[in-house]
Amino acid sequence: MTEQEKTSAVVEETREAVDTTSQPVATEKKSKNNTALILSAVAIAIALAAGVGLYGWGKQQAVNQTATSDALANQLTALQKAQESQKAELEGIIKQQATQLEQANRQQETLAKQLDEVQQKVATISGSDAKTWLLAQADFLVKLAGRKLWSDQDVTTAAALLKSADASLADMNDPSLITVRRAITDDIASLSAVSQVDYDGIILKLNQLSNQVDNLRLADNDSDGSPMDSDGEELSSSISEWRINLQKKLAELYGQLHYDSPS
């Protein structure tokens, strides 16, 4: 065997030894690569699942947010409509109140003008008009005094009314009314001279006498037994003369009434 052949044989043996040694190493490497691929696939699957879940959650959140936004938008629209309605109602009320206020101002201005006109008319009343009013007042008082005198026979009130009429004529300060005032003064003096009949007092006196009739004595206690003269002014104390006594007393009262009454 030559030297070259020996060398080739050695190389061949070495190659076979190398091939025999590298075959387990390659198998181990191939197993590791398969595990890595599986892990990568699992990781990718997990990532895809997470992505899909995240996408679904995000989409649901978007839907929820859209629904919430729509609800808020509807509420906002309703509030805006309510606000516009209230605003329109408020504007109507303000307009109505403004109209009423304007009408009230116009009425006040009209009343103020009317008041000014009345004040001007009152201010322009002349002295002759005032005298005419005083004269009419005096005439009314004189007529009322006559009615009181003739209808009610109230002398006191008639005299007071005549005095008021004379005062009205005195306020006129007109010398041409002296004759009228003199006549009224004479009437006042005539009424003052009339004696007043106390009708109430007469009625009370008659009632008192009527009550005294029951208190007349029923027995004649006169010691001499002679009654007083029936024609005398003094009353008799005899029980048998009680009618005469009553007639005398009534005649006396009638005479007083006739004397006190005006002729």
Mean pLDDT of the chain: 74
pLDDT band at 73 (very low <50, low <70, confident <90, very high): confident
Name the one residue in this structure whose structure tokens are 């005096």: 138
- Whether 120 and 134 map to the same domain: the answer is no
3-state secondary structure of 196: coil
The answer to which of 9-23, 27-41, 120-134 has the lowest mean pLDDT is 9-23
Among 118-127, 130-139, 148-157, 187-196, name the one with the lowest average pLDDT: 118-127
Identify the pLDDT of residue 163. Answer: 92
Q: Distance between alpha carbon 85 and the CA centroid of its chain, in Å?
A: 33
The predicted structure's pLDDT at residue 196: 64
Q: Are residues 114 and 130 in the same domain?
A: no
Q: Is the pLDDT of residue 2 over 70?
A: no
User: Residue 91: in which H helix or E strand, if any?
Assistant: helix 3-123
- Look at residue 181 and tell me if it is in a domain: yes
User: Could you tell me if residue 71 is inside a domain?
Assistant: yes
- Is the pTM higher than 0.75? The answer reads no
User: Any idea which residue has 């004269």 for tokens?
Assistant: 135
Can you tell me the mean pLDDT for 194-215? 70
Does a structural domain hold residue 250?
A: no
Residues whose CB falls within 8 Å of the CB of residue 74, separated by 6 or more in sequence, listed in order: none
Question: 233-245 pLDDT, tens per residue?
Answer: 555 555 456 666 6
Instruction: Identify whether 99 is part of a domain.
Output: yes
Q: Residues 191, 164: one domain?
A: yes
124, 146, 179 - which closes a domain: 124
Q: Could you tell me if 52 and 80 lie in one domain?
A: yes
Residue 198 tokens read as 């106390």
- How far is Cα 261 from Cα 204, in angstroms, rounded to an integer? 17
Q: Are residues 41 and 108 in the same domain?
A: yes
The one-letter amino acid at 158: A
- What gap in Å lies between CA 224 and CA 227, rounded to an integer? 8
Q: 203 lies in which domain range?
A: 126-209
Cβ contacts of 132-136, under 8 Å, gap ≥ 24: 134/168, 134/169, 134/171, 134/172, 135/168, 135/169, 135/172
Each residue of 133-168: pLDDT tens digit? 888 888 999 989 888 888 877 888 888 999 999 998
- Tens digit of pLDDT for each residue in 75-90? 888 888 888 888 888 8
Confidence class for position 63, pLDDT limits 50, 70, 90 = confident
Q: How far is Cα 214 from Cα 175, in angstroms, rounded to an integer? A: 66
Q: Is the model more confident about 203 or about 166?
A: 166
Q: Which amino acid is at 103?
A: Q
112 and 148 in a common domain: no
Residues 117 and 131 in one domain: no
More confident residue, 53 or 135: 135
| Same domain assignment for residues 97 and 134 | no
Residue that wins the pLDDT comparison between 226 and 61: 61
Q: How far is CA 52 from the centre of its chain?
A: 77
How confident is residue 3, by pLDDT bands cut at 50, 70 and 90?
A: low
- Contact between 149 and 161 under an 8 Å Cβ cutoff? The reply is no
Three-state secondary-structure class, residue 242 = helix
Domain boundary among 69, 102, 124: 124
How many domains are contained in the chain? 2
Domain boundary among the residues 124, 157, 175 is at 124
- 151 and 192 part of one domain: yes
Share of the chain above pLDDT 90, in %: 4
- In a domain, residue 231? The reply is no
If asked whether residues 90 and 152 sit together in one domain, one would say no
